[in-house]
Amino acid sequence: MRAAFLCGIGALLVCQPVMGAEDGLYEGVWHTTNRKLDGTMTCAVKNLGEEKWTGRFYGVWQGVPFDYTVQFSGKPDKLTGKATIDGADYTWSGDMGTEDGERFKGSFGGNRYSGYFDLKRKQPGVTAGARGPTVR
């Protein structure tokens, strides 16, 4: 009985995503400053180690889903990245070190849009919505 219980716990731990102190799921708004294209988005951040990160930014804007994964680097309070999204080149900077890691703020610029985002950490166990990951 005890062995079955421990195997069940082990399987549960293996199947659940493990998020480190700086991994996280954030949700909030983005604002464009050169055209009115504001909206809500979610970002699943993964710490790859050695100041390397990925962020999966996704949501629905005007009824159309979007889903982009970008690479970035730096310390949590001084992140930078470059991405090509839908043929447009962007650079951006961000900060996950504000408010004890409860916020992920950034600004972006490129040859199509410029603006900023302000995302708040979602609590574990909250489903991120359609197309997004579930973190438990």
2 part of a folded domain: no
134 part of a folded domain: no
Distance in angstroms (rounded) separating the CA atoms of residues 3 and 36 = 58
Query: For residue 136, what pLDDT is reported?
Result: 37
80 part of a folded domain: yes
Helix/strand/coil for 69 = strand
Helix/strand/coil for 125 = coil
Query: For residue 8, what pLDDT is reported?
Result: 30
How many structural domains does the chain have? Answer: 1
Residue 106: which CATH number?
2.40.128.120
Encoding tokens for residue 17?
Answer: 């995503």
Across 14-18, 48-52, 78-82, 87-91, least confident range: 14-18
33 part of a folded domain: yes
Give the pTM. 0.72
Higher pLDDT, 89 or 60: 89
Encoding tokens for residue 51?
Answer: 């100041």
39-49/78-85 β-pairing: unpaired
Domain that holds residue 115: 20-121
Distance in angstroms (rounded) separating the CA atoms of residues 89 and 9 = 45
88 part of a folded domain: yes
5 part of a folded domain: no
67 part of a folded domain: yes
